[in-house]
Amino acid sequence: MATHALDRHLVLVGFMGAGKSTIGPEVARALGREFRDVDAAIEAQEGSIADLFAERGEAAFREIEAAFIRHECDRRKPAVIAVGGGAVETRALLDELDVLNVNLVVDVDTAWQRVQGSRRPLAQDEAEFRRRYEQRQPLYAAVADARASDAGGVILAAAGVHVEVGALERLAELVEAPAALVTEPVVSGIHGADAQLAFAFDETHELPSGEPAKQIAEVERLWRSLRIGRNGTIVGLGGGSLTDAAGFAASTYLRGVPWLPVPTTLIGQVDAAIGGKTAVDLPEGKNLVGAFHWPARTLIDPTLLETLSADERLNGMAEVVKTGLLVGQPLWELPDAELVRRCAAFKSAVCLRDPHDEGPRHVLNLGHTFAHALESAAGYDLPHGRAVALGLVAALLLSGRETGAVQDVLRPERVRVDRERAWEALQRDKKGPLRVILLGDDGGFETQLPERDVRAALDELIAG
């Protein structure tokens, strides 16, 4: 079954009244895709669906519907496509198409409230409506690659991101053997046994904890110890540095094998493990060697955050605050499970819209131009979240914005690093010299600023 809709159509299936024609356009806007409603297309060309049912019968309508579905799915550019509630009765067609089918679920009472009194042919009799609902549930389950109940859930499904409390226990359902587990000592001691109980890995490997995992020498050691073949999967269990390195190894080993990140830190669950960016560091800069390698799936279990230290949680909150600033909502105030889900859905949408970081995805670098420069100047001894907090201060001040949320939640403190080394690293940053992301009324935007302004903002982040 399809695991994501990176380069394929996203098809919404579900019973009438599930909200496909309202949620579909919202998802399409978020992903930067066209929205196509098969029922609307049929009515535009063939006339009222109610009249088609009355004049030709349901069997004839299903043939018309199948032809329209195939026509929409034969288009090359990936779109969001809503199909009628009964399209699942032509399941063979949906099974054979190279699409991601997401079942938009709704309970029968809500569905009936939404459609009663309409001209829908199968919504004229409540008893028949409820019979059809029960009859079709197994069909939706059989054809669906994923389930969702709102736009955020559809977006996560489209990205192959599975967010669920207790998800680690479902590894066996989401990973195909053979598979190699790549983790690091601290995480292995906390969550390794649970992962091994959930799935019988063929081999297990460790990288160093933290940023040292992203050294070429460590990745080479991993390459040389792996034994899985082209049909194997690498599962990366750990924080953002670990999943960066494991994903990069997967992108290059045997010219690329599937991988599945299981982030165990807040920064990994809301940012680092989502979107297919993998990388390692060089002495000259952070993430200078990498590849785009979209995960087969991303498995996020918010309960894994319960073991985080206060410092590690604060480290991850920097990315939460960044995301909240971009969407214009205080996401940092939400409970963990919803906080993670909202941040993950936002990043998933941006990355699906721009999987190779060619434009729209640049907004995710709010504060990061400065953060990466500080990390490099500190020899990567500076925690990423602390660097991002400082970078957000600089970006907001350059944007003419208040820094209160950053100050209150993240409590950034100036760092002692060599100013010239930080400036050189900033100019080498992968986004290009002196181009930074600022915050406007409608989110982030990229601009080029005078050298003196950027240098002054960087200097304000450095103590001494």
Residue 159 region by backbone torsions, left for phi larger than 0, else alpha for psi between -120 and 50, else beta: alpha
pLDDT at 278: 97
Tell me whether the omega of the peptide bond preceding residue 78 falls within 30 degrees of 0, making it cis.
no
Query: Amino acid letter at 216?
Result: I
Reported as a single tens digit per residue, the pLDDT across 27-68 is: 999 999 999 999 999 999 999 998 998 899 988 988 899 999
Residue 123: the pLDDT is 84
Given a cut of 60, whether residue 311 has pLDDT beyond it is yes
283 or 103: which leads in pLDDT: 103
Superfamily of domain 317-464: Dehydroquinate synthase-like - alpha domain (1.20.1090.10)
Specify the range with the lowest mean pLDDT, choosing from 153-167, 344-358, 394-408, 416-430.
416-430
All residues at 6 or more sequence positions from 169 whose CB lies less than 8 Å from its CB, including other chains: 194, 198
- Compute CA 154 distance to the chain's CA centroid, rounded to the nearest angstrom: 11
Please give the model's pTM, rounded to 2 decimal places: 0.94
Instruction: Please list the residue range(s) of the chain that carry CATH number 3.40.50.300.
Output: 9-159
3-state secondary structure of 342: helix
- pLDDT bin (cut points 50, 70, 90) of residue 431 is low
Residue 236 binned pLDDT confidence (cut-offs 50, 70, 90): very high
Distance of CA 447 to the CA centre of its chain: 25
At residue 428 the predicted structure's pLDDT band, cuts being 50, 70 and 90, is confident
SS3 content of the chain, % helix, strand, coil (to 5): 55, 15, 30
How many other CB atoms sit within 10 Å of the CB of residue 331? Answer: 23
The distance in angstroms from the start CA to the end CA of the chain is 57
* pLDDT, position 14: 95
Given this structure, which CATH class describes domain 163-308?
alpha beta
C-alpha distances in Å from residue 325, one per residue of 88, 328, 401, 405, 442: 40, 5, 11, 9, 10
- What share of the chain has pLDDT > 90, as a percent? 86
Q: What is the pLDDT of residue 109?
A: 97
Q: How far is the C-alpha of 416 from the C-alpha of 287, rounded, in Å? A: 22
Give the pLDDT band (50/70/90) at residue 104: very high
Segment 111-135, tens digit of pLDDT = 999 999 888 888 899 999 999 999 9
Question: Rounded to whole angstroms, how far apart are CA atoms 407 and 266?
Answer: 19
Task: Quote the pLDDT of residue 87.
Answer: 86
**C-alpha span between 426 and 239 (Å, rounded):** 25
Quickly state the pLDDT bin for 433 (edges 50, 70, 90).
low
Q: What does the pLDDT read at residue 289?
A: 95
Delimiting residues of CATH 1.20.1090.10 domain(s) in the chain: 317-464
Average pLDDT over residues 439-458: 94
> Per-residue confidence at 1, pLDDT binned at 50, 70, 90?
low
Separation of alpha carbons 80 and 28, rounded Å = 6
Q: Work out the average pLDDT over 378-405.
A: 95
Mean pLDDT of 176-192: 96
Checking if the pLDDT of 432 tops 80, the result is no
- 3-state SS assignment for residue 36: strand
Separation between Cα atoms, residue 152 and residue 263, nearest integer Å: 19
Q: What is the pLDDT of residue 119?
A: 85
CB of 269 closer than 8 Å to CB of 302 = yes
Q: State residue 90's pLDDT score.
A: 65
Query: In angstroms, what is the C-alpha Rg of the chain?
Result: 24
Give me the pLDDT at residue 62, please.
87
Measured CA to CA, the distance from residue 386 to residue 406 in angstroms comes to 11
- Per the CB < 8 A criterion, the answer to whether 298 and 261 are in contact is yes
CATH 3.40.50.1970 in the chain, residues? 163-308
Residues paired with residue 146 on neighbouring β-strands, in sequence order? 102
Query: Pick from 51, 46, 25, 47: which is nearest to 37 by CA?
Result: 25
CATH 3.40.50.300 at 9-159, yes or no: yes
Q: Tell which residue, 313, 279, 314, has the closest CA to residue 293.
A: 279
**Average pLDDT over the chain, rounded to an integer:** 94
DSSP string for 110-155:
HHHHHHTTS--GGGS-HHHHHHHHHHHHHHHHHH-SEEESSHHHHH
